[in-house]
Amino acid sequence: MDGPRRFQMKKPRTHLIRSQRQLRVLTAAARQEVVDVLSQMGTVSVSELAASLNRPADALYFHLRALTRAGLVQRVRFRSAGRKKEALYRTVAPELCLSYEPAQRDNRKALSRIVASMLRLGIRDFASAVTPGNAIVSGRYRELWAQRKTGRLSLAEIGNVNSSISELTRHFSAHRRGGRLYAITVLITPLDHRNKGVKPVGSKNVKNDRH
């Protein structure tokens, strides 16, 4: 008869961000940028992360400490780098998702601040990219987009839109070392809340991907 077997718990693929501590730490645009890139890269050193972000490594330690204390980033191990040892970091799960709880005032406020930071990052990155020779702006391999559309959709059509967004973000979630680094910011919101007395389509709490 075989001896006792040890079963290793599978690491959850998705971490739901719902505590105020974790929400507050992501209101800073720089920390959003760190977790965005770190979740895509996997387990890396600070110098590798800094190279991808095109920022000095010394500027990242403060944010990594804050994210680690909040439980969104883990220092997993050390490795030799010449005569020194360097720490390796990763996000607590490959996918980090915000918890949307409209009935909770603190949650609403934190989400609004996080989204504001997301949009500031998008504006900054777009302004940096829209320079001569930096990005393809037409055709099949277009790299730079900005668009706003409004339309009336049924629940079935909203479901299709959500499926398309999930498929789009799936391409960004895969761990790849090669290729150019891109960012995508998605914002979808109903507009009839502007009209008093209009009942929302759904009132249950929902959760969704952060990117």
pLDDT at 18: 94
pLDDT at 157: 97
Distance CA 124, CA 127 (A): 5
The answer to the question of residue 3 being in a domain is no
Q: What is the mean pLDDT of each run of 10 residues along the chain (211 residues)?
A: 46 88 96 94 93 92 96 92 88 93 95 96 95 94 94 96 93 79 92 65 50 47
163 φ/ψ angles, rounded to the nearest 5 degrees: -65, -40
Give the residue numbers spanning the domain of 187: 12-211
The answer to the question of residue 1 being in a domain is no
Beta bridge partners of 206: 100
pLDDT at 2: 40
The answer to the question of residue 200 being in a domain is yes
pLDDT at 7: 45
The answer to the question of residue 4 being in a domain is no
The answer to the question of residue 209 being in a domain is yes
pLDDT at 27: 96
* pTM across the whole model: 0.80
User: Distance between alpha carbon 154 and the CA centroid of its chain, in Å?
Assistant: 28
pLDDT at 1: 38
pLDDT at 196: 57
Domain at 157, CATH number: 1.10.10.10
The answer to the question of residue 6 being in a domain is no
The answer to the question of residue 5 being in a domain is no
The answer to the question of residue 72 being in a domain is yes
> What's the alpha-carbon Rg for the chain, to the nearest Å?
20
User: Distance between alpha carbon 4 and the CA centroid of its chain, in Å?
Assistant: 41
- Give the DSSP letter string of the chain: ---PPP-PPPPPSEEEE-SHHHHHHTTSHHHHHHHHHHHHH-SEEHHHHHHHHTS-GGGTHHHHHHHHHHTSEEEEEEEEETTEEEEEEEESSSEEEEEE-TT-HHHHHHHHHHHHHHHHHHHHHHHHH-STTTS--SSTT-------------HHHHHHHHHHHHHHHHHHHS--SSS-----------SGGGSTTPPPS--S-EEEE--
Q: Among 111, 108, 109, which residue's Cα sits nearest to residue 119?
A: 111
pLDDT at 5: 46
Per-residue pLDDT tens over the stretch 172-187 = 877 777 788 899 999 9
How many domains does the chain divide into?
1
